[in-house]
């Protein structure tokens, strides 16, 4: 089954387009201190390797902003500056050549937001209006409380402010750590506006609970055709966010690529299914070939093997490479990963 996606405006962030007919983009955020330029670039390279298509960095002070140019010179994906409270950091980030700004209208007054919009317009750079349940404008929460309706209203009001300045280079996000609030706020917004939506469940939690919450929340919205770019927020290494994002999108046929079908293992397993399956999944995350790769502890059930296009299985003294349930060759167990990759690439 194919999801029918909501029609949205196309926005260009550096050399990556999102919204419109473009694939749902995968993004993440660095967990390093931006002023630690070596650590930040190293982390971005590792995220690029995993398939991250847009990367956000925190710019809490002018020292961090001053690193933008150097970071940009050494990375290959668009760089987004995450700005809170101080509009001057946004203005300077744009001057330093950042590809997009993420602002939170709950913590920057409207007259200062207008200055950011003017600078972004001159620089032809998009802005993400990042609405968060925890930091909504006071005038809205006084009337509507901390609700999905308040999030929706905050987003619409900021969009209005931007449009009145003739600025439409906009991406919007409406995030809460509550799945139902996030779903409702995004649903309300998507009915009213065709600006592209960045989806995320904020502060989703540790790797296990965060993956569960994001899969349910983002999965529901994506099935409804809502969402143009996603970030899976996890209290974990950001590469895990990217891997999870691709797994969510591939599960819904929203991104093409390899999927690993691995058995749950049991007392018959002749290989380390858990580690081998994880390693193969990581190594295949960027390929766009729609292929199912099986990882089976043994070759006892040929029907299981037939579900995969290609795969590996364990046997007592060797490893097996199979295609559509038929053994094509036997290899040393320690070479199984490299040998199956040869069949795929």
Q: Which residues lie near ligand SF4 (CB under 6 A)? A: 263-266, 268-269, 296-298, 300-301, 304
| Identity of the residue, 46 or 265, whose beta carbon is nearer to ligand SF4 in the bound complex | 265
- Least separation in angstroms between CB 263 and ligand SF4: 3
The set of residues, in sequence order, having a beta carbon less than 8 Å from that of 52 and lying 6+ positions away, is 26, 27, 28, 44, 77, 238, 239, 242
**Tokens encoding 245:** 């994002």
Helix then strand count (H, E) for the chain reads: 13, 15
Do 228 and 198 form a contact (C-beta atoms < 8 A)? yes
Q: Of 67, 61, 43, which Cα lies nearest the Cα of 239? A: 43
- Least separation in angstroms between CB 268 and ligand SF4: 4
- Least separation in angstroms between CB 313 and ligand SF4: 7
Beta strands 319-323 and 310-314 are antiparallel
- Least separation in angstroms between CB 267 and ligand SF4: 7
Instruction: Please give the full DSSP string across 303-319, using - where no structure is assigned.
Output: HHHHTSSEEEEE-SSSE
| Identity of the residue, 120 or 263, whose beta carbon is nearer to ligand SF4 in the bound complex | 263
CB atoms within 10 A of CB 313: 27
The half-sphere exposure of 314 on its side-chain side, counting CA atoms within 13 A, is: 19
| Identity of the residue, 106 or 311, whose beta carbon is nearer to ligand SF4 in the bound complex | 311
- Least separation in angstroms between CB 270 and ligand SF4: 7
| Identity of the residue, 253 or 301, whose beta carbon is nearer to ligand SF4 in the bound complex | 301
Do 83 and 103 form a contact (C-beta atoms < 8 A)? yes
| Identity of the residue, 264 or 334, whose beta carbon is nearer to ligand SF4 in the bound complex | 264
């Amino acid at each position: 089954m194919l999801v029918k996606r909501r029609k949205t405006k196309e926005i260009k962030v550096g050399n990556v387009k999102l919204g419109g007919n473009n694939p749902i983009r995968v993004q993440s955020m660095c967990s390093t201190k931006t002023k630690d330029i070596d650590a930040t670039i190293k982390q971005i390279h590792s995220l690029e390797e995993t398939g991250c298509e847009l990367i956000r960095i925190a710019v809490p002070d002018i020292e961090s902003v001053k690193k933008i140019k150097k970071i940009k010179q050494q990375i290959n994906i668009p760089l987004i500056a995450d700005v809170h409270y101080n509009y001057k950091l946004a203005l300077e980030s744009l001057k330093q050549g950042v590809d997009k700004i993420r602002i939170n209208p709950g913590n920057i007054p409207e007259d200062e937001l207008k200055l950011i919009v003017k600078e972004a317009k001159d620089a032809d750079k998009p802005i993400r209006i990042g609405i968060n349940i925890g930091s909504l404008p006071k005038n809205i929460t006084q009337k509507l409380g901390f609700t999905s309706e308040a999030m929706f209203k905050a987003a619409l009001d900021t969009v209005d402010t931007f449009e009145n300045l003739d600025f439409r280079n906009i991406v919007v996000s409406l995030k809460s750590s509550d799945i139902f609030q996030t779903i409702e706020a995004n649903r309300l917004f998507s009915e009213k506006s065709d600006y592209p939506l960045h989806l995320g469940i904020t502060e989703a939690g540790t790797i296990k609970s965060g993956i569960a919450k994001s899969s349910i929340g983002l999965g529901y919205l994506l099935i409804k055709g809502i969402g143009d770019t996603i970030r899976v927020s996890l209290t974990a290494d950001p590469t895990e966010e990217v891997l999870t994002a691709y797994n969510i999108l591939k599960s819904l046929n929203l991104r093409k690529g390899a999927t690993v079908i691995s058995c749950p293992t049991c007392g018959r397993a002749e290989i380390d299914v858990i580690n081998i399956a994880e390693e193969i999944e990581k190594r295949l995350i960027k390929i766009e070939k729609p292929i199912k790769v099986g990882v089976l502890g043994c070759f006892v059930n040929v029907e299981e093997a037939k579900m995969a296009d290609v795969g590996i299985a364990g046997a007592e003294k060797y490893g097996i490479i199979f295609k559509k349930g038929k053994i094509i060759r036997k290899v040393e167990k320690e070479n199984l990963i490299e040998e199956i990759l040869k069949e795929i690439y």
